[in-house]
């Protein structure tokens, strides 16, 4: 009985549906994972390049302060306890316009 199953030939099928499914998976991964990540990286780069002295920011570790100076190797942030140096990548948010409109100008509503 086992020999009947072993001697049966496999049905011949085309590889086209398999290749189409793999192609759709690659396109899906691009639009669901790769493209949003690239967009986020571009926004972060633009944000870091737009930093100016005097802007009130929050670091990724949660430290609040005002940018004192910007250099090639980092950013000096003035906090209540003194001046600290951080990498530009450590700046996560800009609070100047949202929390301190009197120092930034008019707040858009």
Q: What is the pLDDT of residues 61-82, one digit of tens each?
A: 888 999 999 988 889 999 998 9
CATH code reported for the domain at 52-104: 2.30.30.30
d(CA 80, CA 15): 66
CB-based contacts of 75: which residues, under 8 Å, 6+ apart? 51, 67, 69, 85, 86, 87, 88, 90, 91
Structural contact between residues 14 and 61, judged by C-beta atoms closer than 8 angstroms: no
Whether 35 contacts 11, CB under 8 Å: no
Q: pTM higher than 0.85, yes or no?
A: no
Locate the domains of the chain by residue range. 19-50, 52-104
Residue 66 and residue 93: Cα distance in Å, rounded? 12
pLDDT digits (tens, 9 = 90+) for 20-68: 999 999 999 999 999 999 999 898 888 888 889 988 999 888 889 999 9
């Amino acid at each position: 009985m086992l020999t009947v199953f072993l001697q049966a030939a496999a049905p011949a099928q085309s590889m086209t549906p398999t290749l189409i499914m793999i192609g759709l998976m690659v396109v899906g991964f691009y639009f669901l994972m790769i493209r949003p990540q690239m967009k986020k990286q571009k926004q972060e780069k633009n944000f870091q390049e737009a930093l100016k002295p005097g802007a009130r920011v929050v670091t990724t570790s949660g430290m609040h302060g005002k940018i004192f100076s910007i250099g090639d190797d980092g950013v000096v942030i003035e906090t209540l306890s003194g001046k600290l140096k951080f990498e530009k990548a450590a700046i996560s948010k800009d609070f100047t316009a949202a929390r301190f409109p009197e120092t930034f100008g008019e707040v858009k509503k």
